Amino acid sequence: MKKNIVIILTILSVLTFNSFSHDGENHSSEHRLKLDYKASVGTIDPNGEMIRVNVKGLVCDFCARAIEKVFMKEKSVAGLTVNLAEKEIKIFTKKGMNIDDDIIREKIKDSGYIVSSIERI
């Protein structure tokens, strides 16, 4: 429980700091992305990449936990969110690291699901 609180406070402090840093450019979409998405497992590296993966077959909490376990073993993954209602996985990578689309497809297929699309944001 204490670990979750520390993670939440860290994310909030980063988001709060970023909301006050404005250099005259329009960062509304970048700012909105950072506020809308929270990692359900792991963390969000603000300098990393977010990968949105639409997956067919995600129907239950057990599906979500299985996907989380598979991806959190990857050294490039900082955090992950599984949205069962949207049948969507968001993978948050670490700064300067990446995970190839083929690896994403393979891990999801090996878990028993089908990738509909992959979008890097």
pLDDT in tens, 35-49: 344 568 899 999 999
pLDDT score of 62 more than 70: yes
Percent of the chain with pLDDT over 70: 68
Residue 82 has pLDDT above 80, yes or no: yes
User: How far is residue 117 from each of residues 3, 55, 87, measured CA to CA in Å?
Assistant: 33, 7, 11
Q: What is the pTM of this model?
A: 0.68
Interatomic CA distance for residues 99 and 76, integer angstroms: 6
pLDDT beyond 60 at 24: no
In terms of C-beta density within 10 A (0-12 exposed, 13-18 middle, 19 or more buried), how is residue 14 classed?
A: middle
Residue 90 vs residue 27, higher pLDDT: 90
CATH number of the domain at 38-120, out of 3.30.70.100, 3.40.50.300, 3.40.50.920, 2.40.50.100?
3.30.70.100
Query: Where are the domains positioned within the chain?
Result: 1-36, 38-120
